[in-house]
Structure 1
Amino acid sequence: MMKLSLTKIAATVGGVALALSAGAGLASADPVTDEMVNTTCTYDQANAALHAENPTAAQYFDQSPANQQFMQEFLGSPKDKRVSMINQVRGNQGIEYVIPVFQQMVRACHKY
């Protein structure tokens, strides 16, 4: 089983989502980018959702302060900063593992 750090996961999700919508602009971004950039969830909500919805991913997340810092900064940032953060990590590998985890977290976080 492949083990990925959540920093790489979070960074990859953002990076690939931006790459998928590159040149389209924020207003016409794809649904993955829209969900990530436009979420109103706090870090605490996202963290609770991750732990409740995907305990395996949460275990990796809990073991990495860098992952936690990235997510705190991302969720605490305005939309333009989120887009910038996504742009900075667009070349990371492993997106096929990351998108479902990040989408699940963003879609569920409002319940927590």
Structure 2
Amino acid sequence: MIKMSLTKLAGVAGLGLLLTAGTGIASAAPNLDSMVNTTCSYQQVTAALNAQGPGPASDLSGSADAMSMLQQFLGMPPGQRRQMANLLAGHPANQPYLGPIEQAFNTCNQF
């Protein structure tokens, strides 16, 4: 049941904007632990994305779907976050954008 709902969430049209909220290419497998175990709030994560430059923040804030997806992700318990993060990281189209998202989760406690 959870797997089905997570798969459905992964298909949300605005999800691409969440994962494209940055530039750069991930050269190695992302460390999903910072995403899964974050104690950051939605405001902290968006501030960390903002700090990376104006493009990512405007892409994210311009998509109600992406903002909703991020809020839902942060509201999930770690086990569900792990499942969602694995789905996102496993999708080939998301590979170039995992680095900036990982960076935001790695630094969000500073905001």
**What root-mean-square deviation, in Å, do the aligned CA atoms of Structure 1 and Structure 2 show?**
2.4
2:93 maps to what in 1? 93
TM-score normalised according to structure 1 size: 0.67
- Residue 94 of structure 1 and its aligned partner are, at CA, apart by 3.5
**How many corresponding residue pairs?**
90
Note if 1:111 corresponds to 2:92. no
Supply the distance in 1 between the matched residues of 2:42 and 2:83 (Cα, whole angstroms): 18
Task: Note the residue ranges of structure 1 that are not aligned, 5 or more in a row.
Answer: 13-19, 21-30
Q: CA 1:101 to 1:6, structure 2 compared with 1: closer, same or farther past 3 Å?
A: farther
Q: How does 1:22-41 map to 2 (within 5 A)?
A: 32-41=31-40
Q: How does 1:74-85 map to 2 (within 5 A)?
A: 74-85=73-84
Task: Note the residue ranges of structure 2 that are not aligned, 5 or more in a row.
Answer: 1-12, 21-28
1:7 maps to what in 2? 15
TM-score normalised according to structure 2 size: 0.68
- Residue 11 of structure 1 and its aligned partner are, at CA, apart by 5.5
1:48 maps to what in 2? 47
Alignment check: 8 A CA contact 1:9 1:94 kept: no
Alignment check: 8 A CA contact 1:42 1:76 kept: no
